[in-house]
Structure 1
Amino acid sequence: MSVAYEIQRLTELRNRGELSEAEFQAAKARVLAGEPHQFQIPSASANQMAMLLHLSQYAGFVIPLLGFIAPILLWQLKKDEIPEIDIHGRIVANWILSSFIYSMICGVLMIVFVGIFGFIILGLLSLIYPIIGGIKANDGVPWDYPGSIRFF
């Protein structure tokens, strides 16, 4: 593989959010120094843990607020042990914060009854997105939830 190809690959990973700016710069420095960075294919257990991270949002249906706490807790406990989890944890945390903001906006819009439709849409998306994210994670593909604001 050529140096140009490796840098192009790193740039694509950074643009998709799979590499932070610091990770990108470090990997680029290794490539330019003649030490190409080999990206490992996530293992099946890492994919399953990432899927569990996405699906843990449903824990809130059993115990209130656990759907917010469980994914964040899983992400923080496993991100150093399983590096692939960090990407999925960021995606889920961004969705949790985004959905909280959207629900606050819908609460304000309840004054003019438009917020009811917003809550219905947000509820449907909160049911559908973790399933799609979990399926994609099990395949080893990080999937950004559409409409999610990037905080991390």
Structure 2
Amino acid sequence: MSVASEIQRLTELRNQGALTEAEFQEAKAKVLAGQPYGYHQPDGFHQPYGFNVPSASANQMAMILHFSQYLGFIVPMLGFVAPILIWQLKKDEIPELDIHGRIVANWMLSSLLYSLISAVLIVVLIGILGLIIVGLLSLIYPIIGGIKANEGEPWDYPGSIRFF
């Protein structure tokens, strides 16, 4: 990616509100100096702003991390274990994967909590609706998260509680 196209990308991120003016100026200075630069992370994930832009293989690994939640439909509990294993085993090798691992783990814990609350609320019938909504979101969110991850963008699942 050329310097001009990278500055244009940073400008777009600033215009969208993903980067503050200070972050934009810092990243722009690094790009102009030829130094490695980072990409914006979702609010609440405060990691050093200095690792390289994710490569295609890092993006694909992050996409696999999101999609691995579907393994629970094949083998029970594998949809919980596989993403955590991928995250923990690869986060040191691929630093960008740590953000995606936190996002997925937060959603898994949040959806488990929402499901337990909905199960208790089945007594008053509103729990059935809650379980349907959590089920649908558990099908939809990994797809959106995986697509965004493949584009190099972390995507916080809406409604997810931040445990990590």
Larger RCO, structures 1/2 (Cα 8 Å, 6+ apart): 1
Give the structure-1-normalised TM-score. 0.80
Distance 1:15 1:70, change over 3 A: closer
1:132 corresponds to: 144
Counterpart secondary structure, 2:160: coil
Runs of 4+ in 1 over 6 A off after TM superposition: none
Aligned residues: 132
Deviations 1:20-61 (A, max 9, x none): 3xx3xxx6xxxxxxxxx5x42110000000000000000000
Q: Identity over the aligned pairs, expressed in percent?
A: 69
Once the two structures are superposed, residues 36-91 of structure 1 have per-residue CA deviations (whole angstroms, 9 ceiling, x without a partner) of x5x42110000000000000000000000000000000000000000010000000
Q: Indicate the structure with greater helix content.
A: 1
TM-score normalized with structure 2 length: 0.74
2:84 & 2:78 partners in 1: Cα distance? 10
Q: How far is 1:104 from its partner?
A: 0.6
Structure 1: give runs of 5+ residues left out of the alignment. Answer: 28-36
List gaps (5 residues or longer) in structure 2: 1-21, 28-36
Q: CA deviation at 1:99?
A: 0.3
Task: Please give the root-mean-square deviation of Cα atoms over the aligned residues, in Å.
Answer: 2.1
| SS of equivalent to 2:145 | helix
Alignment partner of 1:97: what SS?
Answer: helix
The answer to whether the 8 A contact 2:65-2:100 is kept is: yes
